[in-house]
Amino acid sequence: MTIGPVEYAVIGFPGNKFSGEIIPALRDLIANGTVHIVDIVFVKKDEAGQVQSFEFSELGPEEAALFDDIEGEINGIIADADIKAAADALPNNSSASLILWENTWATTFRNAVLKADGQLLMYGRIDHDFAAAALEA
């Protein structure tokens, strides 16, 4: 099986206000072949600090409807330890989405590197604010 680089993000929503405005952007990334969703988990922390987590399949009909057009595996790869780490970083009265995705755009390049007997020696990500400041300079 050929798979591109897999990354994750924890996206927080203060005040437990998830409006669904990120869904169209996510749909576009999937439709354009940029990413493939591997897993999504939702975490909610109430005002007292009590945490609930929900797999995609456990969402209520109203919340699940926001994701109707989202294609992906959604298959439970995000572990309990990942959910705990996200919850620990989440302020009270907030929610978060843990999203795991494959960068499908990179698969062709990865295959070319492997075919050329290339090896990934280093990989990293530059902080957004640092990169933006450097590009503006």
Q: What are 8-36's pLDDT values in tens digits?
A: 999 999 887 776 778 888 888 988 989 98
* Local structure of 100: helix, strand or coil: strand
Residue 35: the pLDDT is 92
List strand residue ranges (DSSP E) for 6-93, in order: 6-14, 36-45, 51-55
- Whole-number mean pLDDT of the chain? 85
Residue 117: the pLDDT is 96
Higher pLDDT, 80 or 23: 80
Higher pLDDT, 65 or 14: 14
* CA dist., res. 73 & res. 90, Å (int): 26
- Range with lowest mean pLDDT among 1-5, 23-27, 35-39: 1-5
pLDDT(73) > 60: no
Tell the burial category of 98 from Cβ atoms under 10 Å away from its Cβ (0-12, 13-18, 19+): buried
On whether the CB atoms of residues 37 and 25 are closer than 8 A, the answer is no
CA angle 87, 92, 98 (to 5 degrees): 30
Residue 64: the pLDDT is 61
Model pTM score: 0.77
- 15, amino acid identity: G
Mean pLDDT of 83-110: 92
* CA dist., res. 105 & res. 110, Å (int): 10
Reference 68, options 54, 76, 55, 56; nearest CA is 56
* CA dist., res. 62 & res. 84, Å (int): 25
Q: Residue 99 CB: number of other CB atoms within 10 A?
A: 21
